[in-house]
Chains A and B, each alone.
Chain A
């Protein structure tokens, strides 16, 4: 570790100032406002304000819609994370075996990452559209009626696919880098000892990949929980019957559409707590274990 000493007591603060000011204005101040707002009951225009203590939180904890949103978020984030990582790993293993065309495939597989979530959402919305969707048409030919407009399960499949699709590229890159850093000599040694390809994968490659896997798991969880707003908003609007109304989208719906600022603020405070927990996990475990 390199240590730097400053002679002037104020210089370090001055150098840190831009970052600190930005953090204070764009993070700490709004966060504090959200906490304060969550104790208030207020009309949309801010003309009548009452301090209600924890009433907004109590109401949330008793609300079956909020419980539903938690459950939906759980199903959604787990599905997105597992699907993304499994698919990315599969692709990475496939590409890792290629010698000549590796670069071409890598480039092609990274492409979807350049697509904005809202666009990805619209894309899948069209592909699966009950009236004009091409995949819906194909599915109908084999007797499957896929309709995300009225079927909760189909809607969940749609948002999971749309959210995972562009994210697979990101995980793929990390897995590929991880695979390529597994020393070939280890695998060769195992092969000489008589271990088959499957055994080699599960006893050597996978354990050596575990830091990458753990890192990707945390990153993908955070992504699925907090960065998928655009996908939901461009496809299902949280429906049908709240079946894809994840926590982040509910904050928007209650706060911006419904103008219920108190409840919305309380929800974002709860989300903030979740982010803090995830960040702590990431710093404690991931940063220590991942070696790039």
Chain B
């Protein structure tokens, strides 16, 4: 409530002070700290590049809070024109047909040049409907990679330039690290849901759900309890008991980065978007980058990893005068210069091929080894129906269920099969509910 009041108060003051010329466009985002400063900078540069529109970015808290705030604002008819929504909110946004203004349509209505083919397929695919239309504007996309401590590898007698490629090598390396006393834990991970469940499935070309992981419609159901996922969860439990792996908490795994920075754990799997922070905090040791490990006995592995991060959605119901400005801003935002700069400063993926080429030309990858690990991993193979991404309603809650069942597995209350079966049955109950709400 307060948030809405403050937001409208700010909007009121802003509109009074700039009442003379430019049209105000509200952009709600979830980028705090340094990322937030970068967002402000992008908006400022766009505002200075022309005089008809003023983009007003405002930070609304984390992804969940931002999405919730936008939905509440929509219900109160106070919505912003642009809102940043994380990838798991995609299902909810797409289903809200009367609330969203699909980006392909917005660009066509305002005759702005827009070519979906210029975006990286793994990025564009996630936000495209079955007819190939892009519904939201990719902004910050990332994918999980592995960071490892070369200094600890050396101490343990491992080759610091040959990080483990498979899970079998992970296990062996972790054992050696602990036995040699180089560190007390082999590896940890952020995001058990995103990295060790969803990406694990895509990376091994296994389905997360039916109907192309939910891209085919609201009838889709979860199928994440397949043999590969069960085997992996079973291993994680085993490795946790043996001390090779340390659980870092639910959602993003708050404790994963500190465990890696303090050299307690030698390896961590986390978002490529956290690259800047990892580099900043790893000054006491040599840092290495690697792709996610895979099981070499699974056919088709490694396939390609899937993205996380967020896109910009346009909401209906604002004044007609604002939408041409939104379209212009999107054109500006996806220009190679803006994208390459954003990519290089933050570690998020360059969302267009042009931005990737520009970064290569500028010598960014040569100067920053490992910065292209994420992009190589995401483009390793052409995405299959199992590795395009996922699209389910109520997925924010399903992520919570994945965490809970994983915790039940770690506590010894369930075995891996039981935990994943529960993820599927509890998750499907939510998906069914979402379907009945939206039909």
Contacts and interface: CB of A to CB of B under 8 A. Distances in A.
B411 A132 contact: no
Interface in A231-253: 237, 239-242, 253
A8 interface: no
B68 interface: yes
A196 to B, nearest CB: 47
A112 interface: no
Nearest to A240: B407
Given A45-B71, A257-B68, A150 B247 contact: yes
B397 A257 contact: yes
B251 A237 contact: yes
B262 A132 contact: yes
Contacts of B394: 258-260
Contacts of B404: 239-242
Contact of B437 (A41, A130, A237): A41
Interface in B401-427: 403-405, 407-408, 410-411, 413
Given A131-B259, A132-B262, A149-B248, A47 B408 contact: no
A239 B403 contact: yes
Nearest to B414: A241
B99 A240 contact: no
Interface centre among B251, B403, B413, by most chain A C-beta atoms within 10 angstroms, is B403
Contacts of A129: 255
Q: Is the interface of A mostly helix, strand, loop or mixed?
A: loop
Nearest to A242: B404
Nearest to B403: A239
A241 B99 contact: no
Nearest to A64: B426
A241 B408 contact: yes
B235 interface: no
B49 interface: no
Contacts of B408: 241
Interface string A41-82: 111111110000000000000000000000000000000000
A72 to B, nearest CB: 13
Interface stretch (B13-21, B90-98, B117-125, B318-326): B90-98
Interface in B70-109: 71, 74-75, 92, 95-99
A111 interface: no
B411 A151 contact: yes
Contact of A258 (B264, B396, B436): B396
B8 interface: no
Interface in A168-218: none
A47 B240 CA distance: 45
A150 B407 contact: yes
B247 to A, nearest CB: 5
Nearest to A52: B436
Given A129-B255, A241-B404, A43 B437 contact: yes
Nearest to B398: A258
A256 interface: yes
A27 to B, nearest CB: 13
A149 B92 contact: no
A149 B249 contact: yes
B438 interface: yes
Interface in A114-156: 129-132, 149-152
B433 interface: yes
B288 interface: no
Contacts of A131: 255, 258-259, 262, 264
Q: Is the interface of B mostly helix, strand, loop or mixed?
A: helix
B170 interface: no
Given A43-B437, A240-B407, A259 B99 contact: no
A67 to B, nearest CB: 14
B400 A48 contact: no
A233 to B, nearest CB: 12
Contact of B413 (A43, A241, A253, A256): A241
Contact of B410 (A44, A150, A257, A258): A150
A164 to B, nearest CB: 23
A28 to B, nearest CB: 16
B238 to A, nearest CB: 15
Contact of B96 (A47, A130, A149, A254): A47
Given A149-B247, A240-B411, A241-B408, A44 B92 contact: yes
Contact of B64 (A43, A46, A152, A257): A257
Nearest to A245: B404
B370 interface: no
Given A43-B437, A45-B71, A130-B255, A239 B250 contact: yes
A187 B439 CA distance: 73
Contacts of B439: 48
A48 B437 contact: yes
A268 to B, nearest CB: 15
Contact of B438 (A48, A240, A253): A48
Interface in B370-396: 394, 396
A241 B68 CA distance: 24
Interface in B234-270: 240, 247-251, 255, 258-259, 262, 264
Given A149-B255, A257-B68, A45 B411 contact: no
B407 A241 contact: yes
Contacts of A151: 411
Interface centre among A44, A241, A257, A260, by most chain B C-beta atoms within 10 angstroms, is A44
A239 B433 CA distance: 23
B78 to A, nearest CB: 13
Contacts of B99: 45, 47
Contacts of B438: 43, 48
B249 A43 contact: no
Contacts of A41: 436-437
Contacts of A42: 437
Given A44-B71, A131-B262, 9 more contacts: A42-B437, A43-B438, A44-B92, A131-B255, A150-B411, A237-B251, A240-B403, A242-B404, A253-B397
27 contacts: A41-B437, A43-B434, A44-B71, A45-B96, A46-B74, A48-B437, A48-B438, A130-B255, A131-B255, A131-B259, A131-B262, A132-B258, A132-B262, A149-B247, A149-B248, A150-B247, A150-B407, A150-B410, A151-B411, A241-B408, A253-B400, A256-B68, A257-B396, A257-B397, A258-B394, A258-B397, A260-B397
Which 10 pairs from chain A and chain B are nearest by CB? A240-B407, A241-B407, A258-B397, A43-B437, A45-B96, A241-B408, A45-B99, A149-B249, A241-B404, A46-B75
